[in-house]
Amino acid sequence: MSQTQIDPQVAAACEKFRRDYLAVKQQIQKAIIGHEAIIDGVLTCLFVGGHALLEGVPGLGKTALIRALSQALHLKFNRIQFTPDLMPADVIGTNVMMESESGRREFTFVHGPIFAQIVLADEINRATPKTQSALLEAMQERQVTAGGKIRKLDEPFFVMATQNPIEQEGTYPLPEAQLDRFLFKLVVEYSNRKELKKILDLTTTNARPEILSVLDGPGILAHQQLVRRVHIADHVQDYAIRCVLATHPKGEFAVPMVNQFIRFGASPRAAQAITLAAKVRALLDGRFHVSFQDIKDVAKPAMRHRLILNFEGEAEGITTDMVIDRIITETPTAFEGAKV
């Protein structure tokens, strides 16, 4: 679909999408120095309706980034500090015996911090797997089941989680089922010399950046609907599919590195994440159609947490990013085989 074929109303919606995206990004950058790729990744999750997992050592600004995002949006925000003694009821809530005005005692449900529109799950891998699993239903179904009753969560609903590298003391690996529910896993690296100077200028003086609320819930939901309307041609979609299938050991499209080092490949959620995130990239580039490059640009954050290395891969120091790079390099954009 060429740019000239776009309906004027759709073109206006696309332009509003770019303005709102950049407005939110600009507010975040008042408080966060550098990490532009991480900010873009978080905002992609926001405008797709997915969840983001940020990994990095303590002190790199992961929590500050998500807090800045919450300030730039007119949404209800709650922060949950995950600790080893945190229980599922501390996340979703519980029934408590209360006395009514008439003097009768009855159970009343006390809502947990999960009942918000942006939930910061801080240091999520410091809690036990039992508590981590309390988020599963909320992240996938946008609802919570407690006391035998289903309670819907307000939309838009986002879980933005931070975690420390799993090698650190006092951390637990996230269950694969929970990892798969994050649209992106974003790896936060150290700041460089120039960025660190700006951080010091911002945080060791009286400077207090004022972050304005520039977007509300209905606006976000409208943008999410627009993203899903972006066109993706069959041959571009097939490339995304083949990249995901290339992660499956011994599969038809598996590359040699996958067969050697991967135990389990990516799920269909990976293909969904790649497609939706690529549509955001297209809109930001002023296009209403997805390109091959859009697929390549989002493949790594969409798949790195969905691949499981085998023993040989771990022993050799292979990372899932290395495997995805090889898949992108060795998977041709054009395919001569039978069509789907």
Long-range contacts of 246-250 (CB under 8 A, 24+ apart): 246/327, 246/330, 246/331, 247/303, 247/306, 247/307, 247/323, 247/324, 247/327
122 and 5 assigned to the same domain: yes
* Residue (of 180, 67, 86, 69) closest to 128 by Cα position: 86
Give 129-182 pLDDT, tens digit per residue.
888 878 888 888 898 887 778 889 998 999 999 888 766 666 777 888 888 899
pLDDT band at 247 (very low <50, low <70, confident <90, very high): very high
Antiparallel, parallel or unpaired: β 215-216 and 73-74: parallel
207 and 243 assigned to the same domain: no
Q: Provide the mean pLDDT of the chain.
A: 88
* Residue (of 279, 181, 178, 172) closest to 225 by Cα position: 279
CATH code of residue 184? 3.40.50.300
Residue 210: the pLDDT is 86
49 Rama class: left (phi>0) / alpha (psi -120 to 50) / beta:
left
247 and 172 assigned to the same domain: no
Of 198 and 311, the structure prediction assigns the larger pLDDT to 311
Rounded to whole angstroms, how far apart are CA atoms 72 and 67?
Answer: 9
Nearby residues of 56 by Cβ (< 8 Å), 6 or more positions away: 62, 162, 164, 165, 187, 188, 189
Is residue 105 in a domain? no
Contact criterion met (CB below 8 Å) for 181 and 140:
yes
Q: How far is CA 23 from CA 13, 15, 69, 213, in A?
A: 15, 12, 11, 10
Phi and psi torsions of 74, nearest 5°:
-90, 70
Residue 336: the pLDDT is 67
Is residue 16 in a domain? yes
33 and 135 assigned to the same domain: yes
338 and 197 assigned to the same domain: no
286 and 209 assigned to the same domain: no
Contact criterion met (CB below 8 Å) for 95 and 109:
yes
192 and 309 assigned to the same domain: no
212 and 157 assigned to the same domain: yes
Is residue 98 in a domain? no
160 and 257 assigned to the same domain: no
Q: Mark which of 229, 262, 288 sits at the end of a domain.
A: 229
Is residue 94 in a domain? no
Is residue 92 in a domain? no
Give 292-319 pLDDT, tens digit per residue.
999 999 999 999 999 999 999 999 999 9
Residue 2: the pLDDT is 46
Upper half-sphere CA count for residue 192 (Cβ side, 13 Å) = 4
Contact criterion met (CB below 8 Å) for 53 and 193:
no
Q: How many domains does the chain have?
A: 2
- Count CB-CB contacts under 10 A for residue 133: 16
Q: What is the DSSP string of 105-170?
A: EEEEEEE-TTSSSEEEEETGGGS-HHHHGGGHHHHHHSEEEETTEEEEPPSS-EEEEEE--TTSTT
Is residue 100 in a domain? no
Q: Mark which of 199, 229, 259 sits at the end of a domain.
A: 229
pLDDT band at 202 (very low <50, low <70, confident <90, very high): confident
158 and 297 assigned to the same domain: no
Residue 6: the pLDDT is 66
Q: How far is CA 7 from CA 4, 19, 60, 124, in A?
A: 8, 19, 43, 44
Q: Mark which of 188, 207, 229 sits at the end of a domain.
A: 229
Residue 169: the pLDDT is 62
Q: Which domain holds residue 262?
A: 230-340
Is residue 281 in a domain? yes
268 and 334 assigned to the same domain: yes
pTM summary value: 0.88
193 and 245 assigned to the same domain: no
CATH code of residue 282? 1.10.8.80
**Torsion sign (Cα): 48, 53, 59, 63:** positive
Nearby residues of 228 by Cβ (< 8 Å), 6 or more positions away: 276, 279
Is residue 209 in a domain? yes
Give 97-132 pLDDT, tens digit per residue.
777 777 777 777 788 899 999 999 988 888 888 888
Contact criterion met (CB below 8 Å) for 54 and 163:
yes
Nearby residues of 198 by Cβ (< 8 Å), 6 or more positions away: 33, 34
